[in-house]
Amino acid sequence: MAQRFGLLLLMATAVGLLILGKTHGDAIRQLRVMAVEVVAPILEVLSAPVISARHAIAKIEHLRNTSRDNDALREQVARLSKWQTIARNLEQENANLRALLRPAHDAAPIFVSARVIGDTGGLFVQSVLLNAGHRDGVEAGQAVTTGLGLAGRVVEVGNRSSRLLLLNDLNSRVPVMVEHSRHRAVLAGDNSARPRLTFLPANAKINSGDRVVTSGHAGVFPPGLPVGVVSSVTEGGARIQPFVDWARMEYVTVLRYRALPAGDVIRHDNGTNAGRGAAGTKPNASPNTTPDTSGER
């Protein structure tokens, strides 16, 4: 009898927590940050040998593939040195033109490197824990990248740990644009490996293989960070294959970039951007991406 009562009480507590999580999300988040802070040092210690083992395995792989990699790299160097010449010319030309136009410079992002100490996620959440927090200058909302591209954004920050919400999480919304057509959209995660492009202007033409970068709208992410390539275009919309290799995320870079004051501006701004993008009958008429507008001064 008492046992049955205890069981019911615990069930009611769990359901109560779920309801609280829905109505008082911030308070629950705060509690969760505190709990993760306690576990983080344990995870940091436990994850060190795991990382070492991964490095050892990677080293063996490298050794096995050395000669093949060498050939591929030599070929790549030959190809890229051609690009380097082109890039040098463009860089010079860009500098000259910028000197003529005198646009305001984008704030250069300062970054913090962090190690992934927990591949947590689970069934409905795509997130990982990082070993950097307030004391390292990490704040909620900051963009996180790997060498390959945008990984997601920081959602919860403790003193020494933080949680990175990945691009493909259900709650992830990132303002992006198609690199060459400059069409703006919102990249919305849905727990699948390839997030959806939403709020694309109706007349936007996108093709598989188009590169997608951050647009810098909402002021939290720096513009121009590589995100992924369009992998499929259907009636329902387009899907993106992110550049990030989820399975190989060991170290990440947290960008301490902030064009807007702190606060929960992300969701709000996403909404307004999205609204504009969706209703935009002439979405390409005004090239009001961040660097361009500043250039008009």
Partner 1 sequence: MDTPLAGRFVNFARAGIPFFVSLLLVLVAILPYGLPKSSLAAPVLALISVYYWSVFRPELMPAGAAFLLGLMVDVLSGGPPGLNALVLILVHWAASGQRRTLAGKSFAVGWLGYLLIAAGAAVVNWFFASLFHTTAIESVPLIVSHAIGTAAYPVVAIFLSRMQTLTRPS
Interacting residues toward partner 1 by CB under 8 A: 3, 6-7, 10-11, 13-18, 20-22, 28, 32, 35-36, 39, 42-43, 46-47, 50-51, 54, 116-129, 155-156, 163, 165, 170, 190-192, 246-250
Shortest distance (Å) from residue 34 CB to partner 1: 9
Chain mean position to CA 127 = 11
Residue 109 structure tokens: 């992002």
- For residue 7, count other CB atoms closer than 10 A to its CB: 10
Q: Are 245 and 116 in contact (CB under 8 A)?
A: no
Shortest distance (Å) from residue 248 CB to partner 1: 6
Nearer to partner 1, 47 or 145 (CB): 47
**Can you tell me which residue has the tokens 């436990």?**
46
- For residue 96, count other CB atoms closer than 10 A to its CB: 10
Q: Are 142 and 154 in contact (CB under 8 A)?
A: yes
Nearer to partner 1, 35 or 101 (CB): 35
Shortest distance (Å) from residue 98 CB to partner 1: 41
**Can you tell me which residue has the tokens 């704040």?**
139
SS3 227: strand
- For residue 252, count other CB atoms closer than 10 A to its CB: 22
Shortest distance (Å) from residue 275 CB to partner 1: 20
Nearer to partner 1, 5 or 83 (CB): 5
**Can you tell me which residue has the tokens 């983080």?**
40
Shortest distance (Å) from residue 150 CB to partner 1: 19
| φ, ψ for residue 290, nearest 5 deg | -55, -50
Residue 259 structure tokens: 């064009």
Nearer to partner 1, 6 or 275 (CB): 6
SS3 264: coil
- For residue 185, count other CB atoms closer than 10 A to its CB: 28
Nearer to partner 1, 43 or 177 (CB): 43
Nearest to 295 by CA among 101, 62, 60: 101
Nearer to partner 1, 37 or 106 (CB): 37
- For residue 103, count other CB atoms closer than 10 A to its CB: 15
Shortest distance (Å) from residue 13 CB to partner 1: 7
Nearer to partner 1, 118 or 201 (CB): 118
Shortest distance (Å) from residue 131 CB to partner 1: 11
